[in-house]
Structure 1
Amino acid sequence: MKHIDFHLDFISPYAHLAFEHLPEALEGLSYSVAYKPVLLGALLKQHGQLGPAEIPSKRSWTYRHVLWLGHTHGIEIQMPASHPYNPLPHLRLAVSTGDDGSISRLAAETIFRHVWRGGEDAGDAARLAALAAQLKPKRDANSDESKALLKRNTDEALQQGVFGTPSYVVDGRLFWGFDGLQMLRAYLKGDAWFDGPQWASADQRPALLRGSKPA
């Protein structure tokens, strides 16, 4: 049985889609999953990236794209009343429901659907309070322990090479994005392609350094 670390941030619509689609995408395979909340903003900052919502034209495309993907895959999704929003309360609440930074599928589902179903304000204080009452966390979401668990998850994700969410790490191999689920399935099924040169050497070539000019 293969083990998957599923790195997620509830602010990501692609993470919501991947979470909902995972059982169907990997149907018939033997695997275990650890759902690990991470702070996407910290990943982006570490890698010097802007989030999709920080680029106006990409923001427009992203929102249309995720609604289309939900439509074509039969996954319920509505844009929250405002986006992006501050995901820290949801992330800290999530890790406060567990002991080691991983959370149950039920907890992840509850928070994802709080954000991505109904079209309401994800950060509304009353809704957050109701969400916390529903989840019954083991500790205060704003406790030092909850903050430390979220930071540890994010640091560990960075060490694994994670640069965005959703990401899936299996056997030290990184798969990314909603459309990465098909590739993940092939790996879990033992596709020999992953033992060949196309995986191993695809990135083993020089890159044009930013700011340099071709000769």
Structure 2
Amino acid sequence: MQLTWYFDFISPFAYLQLQRFQELPESVNVVYKPILFAGLLNHWQNVGPAEIVPKRQFTYQFCYWYARKNNVPFKMPPAHPFNSLFALRLAVALGNQLSVIQTIFNGIWRYGYALESIEAMRYFEEQFARDDLAELVSQASVKEQLKHNTQLAAEQQVFGVPTFTVADGQENFWGLDAFDMLVDFIQSPQSFNDEEMLRVKSLPEGIQRKR
């Protein structure tokens, strides 16, 4: 089974979910697609969790608690949210390889570097053994690929990060806490086609809040 993982380095939940990838069945193939979370928010006319003050505060506490409970190295960067374009374009420019993605995530969420800092740039240059990162991320083809990834995610009904999609968006699993649900789907997809699962999936909207 092929899965697509849509993510943005801005998300601590994406970093935490990445630590569980070894739990996926060996038969699964994951395609990694960095996207701009802000682009999804604009598409769905939504706000991010960090834009609601009490939700932001709880999110940071939850992520720290979750990481500590699961023995995952975790350190918040100096400020959040931050501009993740450099990191996203860097992943694209270096081929979206898992090792590259892990390295970038570690710089932000394991070591707590600010992306615009000298420390972060030195870390990336050392890890990737390159001193032309600024030139890499400025390529028009890289920018276009990131834009295309984000548009494709929206077309496949992705509304947040991280999200796993199956069969080109026919089934989507959003967020860290949906990881176990994804594993269940991989192991028993027929259980997602029972009468009640299909009913709740197509449940009509009862009332709509004025915006």
TM > 0.5: yes
Q: How many residues of Structure 1 are paired with residues of Structure 2 in the alignment?
A: 205
Match of 1:154 in 2: 150
Match of 1:114 in 2: 107
Of stretches 170-179 and 60-69 in structure 1, the one that deviates more from structure 2 is 170-179
Greater share of helix residues, 1 or 2? 2
Match of 1:3 in 2: 2
Is structure 2 residue 106 aligned with structure 1 residue 128?
no
Is structure 2 residue 62 aligned with structure 1 residue 69?
no
Of stretches 71-80 and 121-130 in structure 1, the one that deviates more from structure 2 is 121-130
Describe the shift of the 1:122–1:47 C-alpha distance in structure 2 as closer, same or farther (beyond 3 A).
same
Is structure 2 residue 52 aligned with structure 1 residue 55?
yes
> Could you tell me how far 1:191 is from its partner in structure 2?
4.8
Q: 130, 140, 144: which is aligned to 1:144? A: 140
Matches within 5 A, 1:204-215: 204-207=202-205, 208-211=207-210
Q: Distance in 1 between matches of 2:148 and 2:199?
A: 31
Of stretches 31-40 and 192-201 in structure 1, the one that deviates more from structure 2 is 192-201
Q: Which amino acid aligns with 2:58?
A: W
Q: Percent of aligned positions with the same letter in both sequences?
A: 33
Q: Distance in 1 between matches of 2:148 and 2:196?
A: 32
Q: Which amino acid aligns with 2:102?
A: E
Q: Distance in 1 between matches of 2:203 and 2:190?
A: 23
Q: Distance in 2 between matches of 1:74 and 1:44?
A: 31
Structure 2 residues without counterparts, runs of 5 or longer:
none
RMSD: 1.9
Question: For residues 162-214 of structure 1, what are the alpha-carbon distances to aligned partners after superposition, in whole Å with 9 as ceiling and x for unaligned?
Answer: 001010001221001111110000011025321212332213232112229xx
Matches within 5 A, 1:194-205: 194-205=192-203
Structure 2 residue matching 1:93: 3-state secondary structure: helix
CA contact (8 A) 2:34 2:92 kept: yes
Structure 1 residues without counterparts, runs of 5 or longer:
none
Match of 2:163 in 1: 167
